[in-house]
């Protein structure tokens, strides 16, 4: 039989405060947050499309809003969330195929997701401004 005092001091259900945060855990949480943020960004995209259908005056109003400093910052964040979530989905797809479960591979995939999403976001915006 085990000691009752030791058993009662353990939590019934583990919480985030119990675990030491590691990079892969943080990336998993960020993946979920970016998934939620994509809902907000999709609403912004639908608003832009509705404004385009509503007429040139309303479309110019929405374009001016998105073209402001705050609007561009929000769109930059949406771009990053979209790319980060996409790369995180690719990481999960690799796991679904049965690869990348080792500790080094998990850490490498998590770092590649973060570095790739930031790099691709910056590259996409630089190319967008260059083409513009």
SS3 101: coil
Show the beta-strand stretches assigned E in 32-82: none
Confidence of residue 132 (pLDDT cuts 50, 70, 90): confident
Query: Which residues are annotated binding-site positions for heme?
Result: 85
Confidence of residue 18 (pLDDT cuts 50, 70, 90): confident
Query: Which residues are annotated binding-site positions?
Result: 85
Q: State the CB neighbour count (10 A cutoff) for residue 107.
A: 14
118: nearest Cα among 54, 20, 27 = 27
Average pLDDT over residues 26-42: 94
Return the percent helix, strand and coil in the chain, to nearest 5.
80, 0, 20
Q: For position 20, what pLDDT does the model report?
A: 79
Half-sphere exposure of 1 (CA within 13 A, CB side): 3
**pLDDT tens digits for 35-80?**
999 999 999 999 999 999 999 999 999 999 999 999 999 999 999 9
Domain at 22-131, CATH class? mainly alpha
Q: For position 4, what pLDDT does the model report?
A: 55
């Amino acid at each position: 039989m085990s000691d009752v005092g030791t058993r009662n001091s353990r939590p019934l259900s583990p919480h985030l405060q119990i675990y030491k945060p590691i990079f892969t855990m943080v990336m998993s949480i960020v993946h979920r947050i970016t998934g939620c943020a994509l809902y907000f960004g999709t609403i912004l995209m639908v608003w832009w499309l509705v404004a385009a259908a509503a007429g040139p005056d309303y479309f110019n109003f929405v374009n001016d809003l998105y073209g402001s400093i705050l609007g561009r910052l929000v769109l930059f964040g949406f771009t990053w969330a979209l790319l980060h979530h996409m790369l995180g989905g690719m990481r999960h797809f690799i796991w679904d195929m049965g690869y990348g479960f080792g500790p080094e591979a998990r850490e490498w995939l998590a770092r590649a997701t973060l570095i790739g999403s930031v790099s691709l976001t910056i590259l996409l915006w630089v190319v967008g401004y260059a083409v513009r």
